[in-house]
Amino acid sequence: MIKDINMPLFLMNIPTCYSTNVRNNIWMEEYTAKDIVVNKEKAIREIWEVYSFLSSQGFVYLLPTPYDCRLQDLVFVANNGIVLEHLEEETYIASNFRVPNRRGEEIVASKFFEQMGFKVIPCPYLFEGEAELKYLRDNIYIGGYGIRSEKESYDWMASEFDMNIIPLELTDPYNYHLDCTIFPLTRESIIVATEAFTKQEIKQLENVAELIPISIEQAHTGLCNSVRVNNYILNASDIDFLSKRSEDYRLEKSKNIRLEDIAGQNGMEVCYFNMEEYLKGGGLLSCTVLHMNHHSFTKDLL
């Protein structure tokens, strides 16, 4: 059983079918027809660097890409579903995509999890996976809804799987998944773009964890789109390729400094990866990694 493996476990996909042929989010609209074309070799190198680092700290399964697959966003595995870690039986909830060209990704992932021995259950309401539903501890989850996922999906999960889900409404089209504004750092602390939510929603979060605030600008540049493994925080940054006089450089530097401050205060270290090819598809580092467990969260910091 997966639960018996005493190390961090993740799922990734090698982007052999990744493309940007269909623009299905607001970030993609900012690219010209020429600039949005994916450099496939570069995309594979970028994902391989993340895979290699995670593999040095835990174990990474690779989601097989079907022959002649045309699912352009299959590499963004965090959208395909979620492992319910609070249950004794290994259970995977498959996504139900709002965007038409993404439908089918959940079928590929479901077959993988079935072969791994998981109980696989499709969500009957619109729901886009771990990118929308963040695990904290015990049976406590935080769920984003309003743009890609429906609140009814969390009502269903709470009823069927004994989950305590804090629902947060997403209204900013640039933060269309919850992982743009929420990043559980530990079992007791969450990085939050506090301006993105109402006072009532923030109070609900404060009832279950310590909140570490960041700005909307820092959220838009991908601070929360991170992955923690052991004492490391993995984050996407292309700051080395930006002009120091540009506004993009200022925003990226602000994000990196804030993330490094948070990491230092919590005994962690930030590792940056260039994910430039995935920005073209509206994705960042956390989109390419699905947690099969949260082993890092059960360990004391070194």
- Distance (Å, rounded) from C-alpha 252 to C-alpha 239? 6
- Note whether 77 and 288 are within 8 A (CB): yes
Give the strand pairing for 227-229 and 232-236.
Answer: antiparallel
Report how far residue 265's alpha carbon sits from residue 205's, in angstroms, rounded to the nearest whole number.
Answer: 21
The pLDDT score that the predictor gives to residue 300 is 58
Q: What is the CATH number of the domain that holds 258?
A: 3.75.10.10
Residue 13 and residue 74 in contact, taking contact as beta carbons nearer than 8 Å: yes
Report the C-alpha gap between 101 and 70 in whole angstroms: 9
Strand arrangement of the beta sheet that strand 182-184 belongs to: 182-184, 189-193, 210-214
- Locate the DSSP E strands across 146-260: 164-169, 182-184, 189-193, 210-214, 227-229, 232-236
Q: How many domains does the chain have?
A: 1
Measured CA to CA, the distance from residue 301 to residue 119 in angstroms comes to: 32
Nearest to 288 by CA among 80, 57, 21, 53: 80
| pLDDT tens per residue across all 302 residues of the chain | 788 899 999 999 999 999 999 999 999 999 999 999 999 999 999 999 999 999 999 999 999 999 999 999 999 999 999 999 999 999 999 999 999 999 999 999 999 999 999 999 999 999 999 999 999 999 999 999 999 999 999 999 999 999 999 999 999 999 999 999 999 999 999 999 999 999 999 999 999 999 999 999 999 999 999 999 999 999 999 999 899 999 999 999 999 999 999 999 999 999 999 999 999 999 999 999 999 999 999 865 55
Residue whose structure tokens are 């290994």: 90
pTM of the model: 0.96
* Cα–Cα distance, 70 to 289 (Å, whole number): 20
Parent domain of 91: 2-298
